[in-house]
């Protein structure tokens, strides 16, 4: 069992999963318990979860996910029921993001890997999963047993930290997609 910080640093995006090794229902229940323990504005808990672990259904779902064509044995579609949130804006996304992070950290603790995906064809996923209007599709998260090893990594960058007040004059290296890809390669 790792410390919280060890699990945070060990949490990596996993794109290769062990074949023929589904995620047990007991572990899915723990993931959901972790998700629902997340902080939520006014404790409204807008999240809802659609678990897809049937191989045929998962294959169909993955057709709507850009960059999601890997062998993860389970997808969890995180949704938000926003109709009863009494204020404008999309703060419910923050609540759902906290729930997702809790699940991903719990996954590390249980020896599972995960991949958080935000780029998917929402109208097609909504139709395929029969998600009604008024329920927002937030993200898809893959879970499974990793078939790749990635070392823990700290991405702490002092240039992103300001003490007391923000300094708009201080140089700050802009992150680029190319740089992020190179970091991922270097961190593997």
pLDDT score recorded for residue 187: 63
Q: Residue 160 domain-assigned?
A: no
Domain range for residue 147? 4-153
Domain count for the chain: 1
Q: Residue 111 domain-assigned?
A: yes
Q: Residue 186 domain-assigned?
A: no
Q: Are 116 and 141 in contact, with CB atoms under 8 Å apart?
A: yes
Going residue by residue through the chain, which has 188 residues, state the pLDDT in tens, using 9 for 90 and above.
578 899 999 999 999 999 999 999 999 999 999 999 999 988 889 899 999 999 999 999 999 999 878 999 999 999 999 877 777 778 889 999 999 999 999 999 999 999 999 999 999 999 999 999 999 999 999 999 999 999 999 988 888 889 999 988 887 767 777 766 666 666 65
112-151 CB burial, b ≥16 within 10 A, e <16: bbbbbbeebeeeebbebbebeeebbbbbbbbbbbbeeebe
pLDDT score recorded for residue 67: 80
Q: Residue 175 domain-assigned?
A: no
Q: Are 76 and 47 in contact, with CB atoms under 8 Å apart?
A: no
159 DSSP 8-state letter: G
pTM above 0.75, yes or no: yes
Q: Residue 63 domain-assigned?
A: yes
Q: Residue 75 domain-assigned?
A: yes
Q: Residue 188 domain-assigned?
A: no
Q: Residue 165 domain-assigned?
A: no
CATH value at residue 69: 3.40.109.10
SS3 10: helix
Residues 6+ apart with CB under 8 A from 91: 41, 85
């Amino acid at each position: 069992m790792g410390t919280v910080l060890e699990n945070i640093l060990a949490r990596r995006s996993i794109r290769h999963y062990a074949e023929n090794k589904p995620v047990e229902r007991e572990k899915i229940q723990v993931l959901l318990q972790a998700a629902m323990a997340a902080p939520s504005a006014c404790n409204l808990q807008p999240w809802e979860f659609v678990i897809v672990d049937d191989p045929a259904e998962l294959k169909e779902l993955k057709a709507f996910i850009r960059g999601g064509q890997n062998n993860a044995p389970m997808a969890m579609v995180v949704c938000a029921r926003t109709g009863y949130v009494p204020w404008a804006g999309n703060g419910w996304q923050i609540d759902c993001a906290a729930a997702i992070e809790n699940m991903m950290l719990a996954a590390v603790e249980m020896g599972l890997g995960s991949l958080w995906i935000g780029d998917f064809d929402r109208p097609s996923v909504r139709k395929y999963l029969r998600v009604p209007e008024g329920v927002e599709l937030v993200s898809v998260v893959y879970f499974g047993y990793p078939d790749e090893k990635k070392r823990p990594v700290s991405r702490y960058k002092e240039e992103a930290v300001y003490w007391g007040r923000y300094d708009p004059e201080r140089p700050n290296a802009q992150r680029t997609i190319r740089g992020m890809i190179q970091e991922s390669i270097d961190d593997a």
